[in-house]
Amino acid sequence: MLFQVYQQLFDSYGPQNWWPAKTPFEMMIGAILTQNTSWTNVEKALAQFEIPFEPQALLKLSNQELIDWIRPSGFFNQKSERLKLLAQWFLQYDGDVTIIQQHPAEDIRKALLSLKGVGPETADSIMLYAFEWPFFVVDAYTRRIFSRLGYPVPKDYEAFRLQIEADLNRPSPSFYNEFHALIVYHAKEHCTKKPKCAFCPLTALCQYPLQIA
DNA sequence: CTCCAGGACAAGC
DNA sequence: GCTTGTCATGGA
């Protein structure tokens, strides 16, 4: 059933080319900045950076300078701290994804989760989009879309993720990459909080429009 | 004006 | 254990 959803979304919207970032560390910055924040505001923040998107460069900034650059993305006090913690952690691996990839994925995930400000969604998005490991990223959009489809949605993040991954049984990173990106696009396009069910490509699979009539 | 956006955390029960 | 308040900006 989930793979059908994926197929329908891909046929409707096409490849999404995620994550929109020039370096792995820019992706990680975006993952922090987009926490409970619209991507347009994150783009405004990223556009103000006058340094390369690398951990060494970010750590050289004063707190005030970093805060001023990320201000449009909101929560700038906590996010500036979180960015520096993440940069320090990444530097332990020389800011090099190929070194990260030599470690067991579960170890790296636990390390990410131990950082203040990195919860399960942020960790998994980094695991997938920066390190290219096959983790399904659960977000609020996933919960909304899947529950409207009638798919069981556990409250617990980890239980939900593992259920989806077991259900899909399709462990390629590029698949998870595309699926999550399509979910985000679809949530903005049709499956908004106030649903726009007219012409929704998932109508045949979704029980939500049936409930309206 | 209110509500929302690609969450995480700590305090309170 | 689970629920609630907090963090902040910009756009609809």
Look up tokens 């006090």; give the residue: A77
Model pLDDT for residues A74-103, shown as the tens digit of each residue = 999 999 999 999 999 999 999 999 999 999
Model pLDDT for residues A109-136, shown as the tens digit of each residue = 999 999 999 999 999 999 999 999 999 9
User: Does position A213 have pLDDT exceeding 60, yes or no?
Assistant: no
| Phi and psi torsions of A63, nearest 5° | -60, -40
Average pLDDT on A163-190 reads 96
The CA–C1' separation of A28 and C10, in angstroms, is 22
pTM of the entire predicted model: 0.96
The CA–C1' separation of A141 and C3, in angstroms, is 21
Dist CA A109 CA A106 (whole Å) = 5
- pLDDT band, residue A207 (cuts 50/70/90): confident
Q: CB under 7 Å from any atom of strand C: which residues?
A: A 36-38, 40-41, 44, 71-72, 74-79, 155-156
What pLDDT is recorded for position A21? Answer: 96
DSSP A47-111: HT--S-SSHHHHHTS-HHHHHHHHGGGS-HHHHHHHHHHHHHHHHTTTT-HHHHTTS-HHHHHHH
